[in-house]
Amino acid sequence: MPRAEHDVSRKDISDNALKVLYRLHNAGYQAYLVGGCVRDLLLGLHPKDFDVATDAEPEQIKALFRNCRLIGRRFRLAHIVFGRDVIEVATFRGHHDSEEQGASDKLSRRSDEGLLLRDNVFGSIEEDAERRDFTANAMYYNIADFSITDFANGMQSLKERKLHLIGDPETRYREDPVRMLRAVRFAAKLDMQISSEAGDIIPRLAPLLANIPPARLFEEVLKLFLAGRAEQTFDLLQEYGLFGQLFPMLQPMLKVADSKENLFVRQVLINTDDRINNDQRVTPAFIYAAMLWYPMEQRFDELMAESGLSPHDAFNMAINDVLQAQQKRIMIPKRFSMPIRDIWVLQQRLPKRFGRRAFQLLDHPKFRAGYDFLLLRASVEGGELEELGKWWTDFQDASGDERTSMLAQLKGSTKGKGRRRPRKRKPQQ
């Protein structure tokens, strides 16, 4: 499609992406915008990321850009770094049948399940297009003449509002099971349907996600739930049997549509969408804390019934057990696992608000996240949680004298309810 036949303009492309494209082009290499950014521009959306494809190999790209770093073993990529903005540059991928092309193990390798462990065989732009996942992602914007080449009827896919996979679905999903998550993400983000040939096979192949490194799944889950369409994404993950592969401890609790677990997760995702769509900050720790709260609570109840531990010790052990189990499926970095712990611990501390404790809790660095989490629990569970949430809301808005009065009333309301009995010590062996 020459420039006159499409609406993609250079003014809609980031300056840093244009710098990369022009430098590659001026050095004698082919340079294209490719994939989701071209698709989104054609749909009138504003892409967050701009990816570039070229016939220059990684080392040649690095020689052109001082701000370049090469990453990845499985896929060798060049990242051109402009402060916080990163332009990803990939060399055209080729076909990699090692028997036909004599590719070495360093360039191309598959697992027994068909998963691509190495994919560093380079080829032509036509081969690269065949290696793309969905037809809507196989469109290339050429900086040389501003034309767009549509290799796989991607424009037709956009008109139909339907996602079509390139190639045999089972082979493509086995090559990279994350493509099943990408199908769901694109369908939710673009308000498109997954075609029957691409979607019907997903429930059967969903267990292949167990072969994906937990660190990679962490990044994929962020893309799923932080794109402003988290609730629709959740519904599609459930429809295609993928959610239980990501959160196996929570999935059994979601079988009843109006269960507190289901209502809570859904409310958290609705709130997440509202915040993202209003340009407010969202932390992944809050989402993971929500997904794992009821499994942690269930584990806490089990330990209290079976172990004879104190509530404090049982609670901390339940936190450790659930986070360790989840890390086997999705690796949660420490910078997020620590805030998850804080949010959960605050759920135990917020009811204990007598005297100086109330002021100490207000000064806790994660108070706001813990308080928001409490309000969401209260909106689903009601009862004492609702009263507790209202008290903390009023306490934050109150003046100094009003806070003192609220604490005095709280102390008076608990008088005469009996003293706390000391715990019996276990006899020494």
DSSP for 217-235 reads HHHHHHHHHSSS-HHHHHH
- Residue 250's closest CA among 325, 184, 177? 325
Query: Which amino acid belongs to residue 161?
Result: R
Specify whether 51 is catalytic: yes
Maximum distance among all Cα pairs of the chain, rounded to whole angstroms: 88
φ/ψ region of 49 (left if φ > 0, alpha if ψ in -120 to 50, else beta) reads beta
Cβ pair 329, 217 in contact under 8 A: yes
Pairwise CA distance, residues 362 & 347, whole Å: 13
Per annotation, catalytic residue among 49, 235, 321, 372 = 49
Per annotation, catalytic residue among 40, 55, 119, 133 = 133
- Residue 234's closest CA among 283, 204, 268, 280? 268
Triad 314, 317, 323: Cα angle to 5°: 140
Specify whether 49 is catalytic: yes
Q: Hey, what are 58's tokens?
A: 């990684």
Pairwise CA distance, residues 418 & 404, whole Å: 23
Q: Which residues pair with 149 in a beta bridge?
A: 140
Per annotation, catalytic residue among 40, 51, 119, 128 = 51
Specify whether 150 is catalytic: no
Q: Hey, what are 87's tokens?
A: 């332009």
SS percent in the chain: helix, strand, coil, step 5:
55, 10, 35
Label each residue of 417-429 as H, E or C: CCCCCCCCCCCCC
Which active-site residues does the annotation give? Answer: 49, 51, 133
